[in-house]
Amino acid sequence: MGWLGLDDTDHLGGGCTTKTLDLLIQGLPSDVEIGELRLVRLWPFAKQRTRGNASVAVEISCEDENKIMNHLDLWWEENISPLAGMISSTENYDRQQYPADPGMVWFSSETPPVEFYYSAVRREVSLDEIPIAKKSWGGQGKIGATAAIAWDKSLVTYEAIAWRTETNTSSKKIRKIDSLRLEEIDEMENTFMSRDSRTGNSMIAPRGPCPVLFGLRARDEEIAKQAATYLLKSESTEENSGFRVFKTNQASDDHLENDLRDTVLDIEILSRGTVVINCKNSKLLAFSESGDIKLLGQWLKHGDTISFNGLKNHDGTYHLERLKVIEGSNQKVRPLCAKCGVRMKSMGKNQGVRCPKCRDRSDKLWDEITRTPPFEDWVQAPNDSRRHLTRPLEWD
The verdict on residue 365 lying in a domain is: no
CA 267 – CA 300 distance, rounded (Å): 7
The mean per-residue pLDDT over the stretch 365-380 comes to 92
CA 89 – CA 107 distance, rounded (Å): 34
**73 Cβ neighbours under 8 A, 6+ residues apart:** 137
| CATH for 188 | 3.90.600
DSSP state of 147: H
pLDDT in tens, 52-68: 689 999 999 988 999 99
The verdict on residue 103 lying in a domain is: yes
Single residue among 190, 221, 248 that ends a domain in this structure: 248
In the predicted structure, residue 245 carries a pLDDT above the cut 80: yes
One domain, residues 117 and 189: no
Q: What is the pTM of this model?
A: 0.89
The mean per-residue pLDDT over the stretch 358-373 comes to 88
One domain, residues 60 and 137: yes
One domain, residues 6 and 144: yes
The verdict on residue 347 lying in a domain is: no
The mean per-residue pLDDT over the stretch 345-372 comes to 88
Percent of the chain with pLDDT over 70: 93
One domain, residues 267 and 195: no
**How is 177-234 classified by DSSP, letter by letter?**
--HHHHHHHHTSTTEESSB-TTT--BSSS--SSSSEEEEEEESSHHHHHHHHHHHHTS
**How is 263-274 classified by DSSP, letter by letter?**
EEEEEEE-GGG-
Could you tell me how many helices (H) and strands (E) the chain has, helices first?
Answer: 8, 20
One domain, residues 118 and 180: no
86-90, 117-121, 223-227, 331-335: the lowest-pLDDT one? 86-90
pLDDT band at 93 (very low <50, low <70, confident <90, very high): very low
In the predicted structure, residue 155 carries a pLDDT above the cut 90: yes
**Integer CA distances (angstroms), 252 to 40, 54, 159, 175, 227, in order:** 11, 14, 13, 28, 21
One domain, residues 139 and 166: no
In the predicted structure, residue 232 carries a pLDDT above the cut 90: yes
76-80, 95-99, 341-345: the lowest-pLDDT one? 95-99
pLDDT band at 349 (very low <50, low <70, confident <90, very high): confident
First-residue to last-residue Cα distance in the chain: 36
One domain, residues 62 and 197: no
pLDDT score for 290: 96
One domain, residues 62 and 170: no
One domain, residues 192 and 283: no
pLDDT band at 314 (very low <50, low <70, confident <90, very high): confident
The verdict on residue 254 lying in a domain is: no
In the predicted structure, residue 96 carries a pLDDT above the cut 60: no
In the predicted structure, residue 98 carries a pLDDT above the cut 70: no
| CATH for 303 | 2.40.50.1010
How many structural domains does the chain have? 3
CA 109 – CA 117 distance, rounded (Å): 18
The verdict on residue 354 lying in a domain is: no
One domain, residues 86 and 109: yes
CA 144 – CA 197 distance, rounded (Å): 32
pLDDT score for 388: 94
The verdict on residue 355 lying in a domain is: no
Q: Residue 241's domain spans which residues?
A: 157-248
Helix axes 221-232, 179-186, angle to 10 degrees: 160
pLDDT band at 226 (very low <50, low <70, confident <90, very high): very high
One domain, residues 10 and 99: yes
pLDDT in tens, 162-215: 999 987 766 667 899 999 999 999 999 899 999 987 788 899 998 877 899 999
Single residue among 203, 220, 248 that ends a domain in this structure: 248
One domain, residues 226 and 205: yes
